[in-house]
Structure 1
Amino acid sequence: MLSMIGLIGGLALLIILTLRGMNLLIAGPLCAIIVGVLGGLDLFPQTAPEGAANLVGNYMGGFSGFVASWFPMFLLGALFGKVMEDSGSADSVSKWIVGKLGMQRAVLAIVLACAILTYGGVSLFVVAFSVYPMAVSLFKEANLPRRFIPAALAFGSVTFTMTSAGSPEIQNWIPIEYLDTSPYAGWEVSIIVALFMAAFGYWWLRKMIGKAVDRGETFVGREEDPQVENRKLPNPVMGILPLVVVLVLSFIFHDSLKQSALIVALLGGILAGYALNYKYFNDFFGALSAGTVGALIAIGNTAAVVGFGSVAKAVPAFQTAVDAMTSIPGSPLIGGAIAVSVIAGLTGSASGGQAIALPILAPHYLDMGVNTEALHRTVSISSGALDSLPHNGYVVTTIRAICGETHADAYGAVGALTVIVPLLGLALAIVLFSLGLGI
């Protein structure tokens, strides 16, 4: 009982502190201490039995493991974003888009850019780094309140593309191992759900921005924003080519190099950005320095939350919660969706929700003769809902480290588009599968 109070209380406190703007390098360990102490974990490796879970060991294991796995991608993604910004490529592409589509479609351009890169296999974190400079330029051109930039980036990345059939993101690939399906499982339903989420989410985003504009909100510049007045910009084609290089290289090397394909793709994008537009840089080495600092802040914030999740998974209450979630009676699709969603919310990770729930769920549901394609798509979509609570690593990184906003200003729109919209899409998927579509 005490362990469950610690788990729920620690998670609730982490969300509250995140929304109130506390530094995650403080909030993450603090809340992990509450979870660990009330969960009965030893504090240090030296005081715990050999091989047993302990607070410091589990927290730092999760923290350092995430840094070890993702630092090259965070660093190169931040550097690529700065190259696009300092060379004027982002501004050039933004002005061209606004000129062709009109300012009223500036938000659509950002969403589409994120969707194309995400579906092309570029990591969600890297997409946010890469598209942010263009998003700032577009919002500035259209004079839209910049606090909605995180929502536009997140909507285009972690909703209708991340969990759709054919997506190369791991949230679509983890079920394959347990259900013996393919990345295109349930594609008929997936197309309908993706179109619904894209259309409804975009309408909602535009409505939220429109209300803010009607209240008098406008774009507010910052000192760190690139200054483009009276500046010569590269040709829009030269500006967009580095993004194309990232997308193409990521696609070419995705199967052979997996996650490491991003290293090749981003390095290629940086080199292409410099080679094509070297004459337009304001301060190339200064941009690299700023990108490096940004990458360190971003990965530190994210790793702090991952460390919390590693402690949460080690306490007895977590296994109790998993057992309860994975034994929900009724439709296997509903039970599986609830289990994955709740576990993803507890860990702040879509992939974590699947990796914990599927080894338990899959054998049970397979014995029941559940349609694996329907279960694959339902589980994939459900993992992308409650995972986007305020403490989620991607949410924290995008809002704070990349966009420089606060949760108080930006999370309302982000939560609406990355939690509520996917939940509605999940409900639609379950209804369609229950009616026999795609089965």
Structure 2
Amino acid sequence: MLSMIGLIGGLLLLIYLTMKGMNLLVAGPLCAIVVALLSGLPLFPQLVEEGMPNYVGNYMGGFSGFVAAWFPMFLLGAIFGKVMEDSGAADSVSKWVVEKLGLKQAVLAIVLACAILTYGGVSLFVVAFSVYPMAVSLFKQADLPRRFIPATLAFGSVTFTMTSAGSPEIQNWIPIEYLNTSPYAGWEVSLIVALFMALFGYWWLKRMITKAVAKGERFEGRKEDPEIENRPLPHPLLGLVPLVIVLIISFIFHDDLKQSALIIALLGGILSTYLLNRKYFANFGRAVSDGTLGALIAIGNTAAVVGFGGVAKAVPAFETAVNFMTGIPGSPLIGGAIAVSVIAGLTGSASGGQVIALPILAPHYIDAGVNAEALHRTIAISSGALDSLPHNGYVVTTIRAICGETHQDAYGAVGALTVIVPLIGLALAIVLFSLGLGI
């Protein structure tokens, strides 16, 4: 009982401190120690046998494991975004979009850019880094409140693309190992759900922005924003080429290299940006330095939350919660969806929710005759809902490190689009599968 209080209390405290703006490098380990103390988890590795759970070991294992796995992608993604910004390539593309679609379609342009890159296999974090400069430029020209930039980036990345059939994102691929399905499992239902989330979410996003503008909110510039007036810009095609190169290379090498394909893709994007637009750079060296610093801040914030998840998974209450949720009676699709969603929320990770729940769920449900494709798609969609609570690594990185906003200003819109919209989409998927569609 005390362990469960610690687990839930630590999570709620982490969400509260995150919303209040506390540095996550402080909030993450602080909330993790609350979970550890109330669960009786030893604090130091010297107090337990080698390999046994302990606060420092589990926290730093999660923290360092994430850094080891993702630092090259964070670094190159941040540098890519900065060189796109410094060369004027992002501004050139944004101006072209404005000319073709009009300022009224600025939000749509950003959503589409994120969706194309995400569905092409580019990491969610990298997409945020890469598209942010264009988003700032478009929001500035359209005079829209910049606090909606994180929601716009997130909506295009982690809703109707990340968990859809055919997506190369890891959230669509993890179930394959456990269910012996394909990345196109349940594609008929997936298509309907994706279209619903895209249309409904975009309508809601536009409505929120329109209401804010009606109340007098406008774009507020910052000194660190790039000055695009009175400077020569490259041709829009020269700005688009690096994005296309990242998309193509990541798609070609994704099957063989998985997430490491992004290293090659981003290097290609950086080199092509430099070679095609080198005469337009304001200061290439400074862009690389700024990108490196931004990557360190971003991955540190994210790893701090991952470390919390490492401690949470080690306490007795976590196993109790998992066993309870995976044993929910009734429709296996509902039970599986609830289990994956809640675990993803506790760990702040969509992939974490799947990896923890599927080894338990898959054998039980497959033996019971549950359609594997329906289960695959339901679990994929459900993993992308509660994972986007305020403490989620991607949410924290996008709002704070990339966009420079606060949770108080930006999370309302982010939560609406990345939690509520996917939950409605999940309910729709379960209904459609229950009616026999796609089975």
Fold match (TM-score > 0.5):
yes
Q: Distance in 2 between matches of 1:273 and 1:301?
A: 28
Corresponding residue for 1:392? 392
The count of residues paired between Structure 1 and Structure 2 equals: 439
Corresponding residue for 2:421? 421
Corresponding residue for 2:42? 42
Q: Distance in 2 between matches of 1:358 and 1:312?
A: 18
Q: Distance in 1 between matches of 2:344 and 2:9?
A: 17
Q: Per-residue deviation at 1:50?
A: 2.4
TM-score normalised by the chain length of structure 2: 1.00
Q: Distance in 1 between matches of 2:57 and 2:245?
A: 40
Superposed CA deviations along residues 188-237 of structure 1, whole A, max 9, x for unmatched, are 00000000000000000000000000001000010110011111100000
**Amino acid of the residue matched to residue 377 of structure 2?**
R
Q: Per-residue deviation at 1:52?
A: 0.9
**Amino acid of the residue matched to residue 354 of structure 1?**
Q
Aligned pairs for 1:3-402 within 5 A: 3-402=3-402
Q: Per-residue deviation at 1:114?
A: 0.3
TM-score normalised by the chain length of structure 1: 1.00
Q: Per-residue deviation at 1:49?
A: 2.2
Q: Per-residue deviation at 1:369?
A: 0.1
**Amino acid of the residue matched to residue 330 of structure 2?**
G
Q: Distance in 2 between matches of 1:171 and 1:259?
A: 12
Q: Distance in 2 between matches of 1:224 and 1:9?
A: 38
Q: Per-residue deviation at 1:85?
A: 0.1
**Amino acid of the residue matched to residue 206 of structure 2?**
R
SS in 1 for 2:391: coil
Superposed CA deviations along residues 66-105 of structure 1, whole A, max 9, x for unmatched, are 0000000000000000010000001000011011101110
**Amino acid of the residue matched to residue 25 of structure 2?**
L
Which 5+ residue runs of structure 1 have no aligned equivalent? none
Which 5+ residue runs of structure 2 have no aligned equivalent? none
Q: Distance in 2 between matches of 1:168 and 1:336?
A: 22
> Which contiguous aligned blocks of 4+ residues in structure 1 show a shift greater than 4 angstroms?
none
Q: Distance in 2 between matches of 1:317 and 1:258?
A: 33
SS in 2 for 1:227: coil
Q: Over aligned residue pairs, what C-alpha RMSD do you find?
A: 0.4
Superposed CA deviations along residues 257-307 of structure 1, whole A, max 9, x for unmatched, are 111100000000000000000010001101111000000000000000000
Superposed CA deviations along residues 349-388 of structure 1, whole A, max 9, x for unmatched, are 0000000000000111011100000000000000000000
**Amino acid of the residue matched to residue 322 of structure 2?**
V
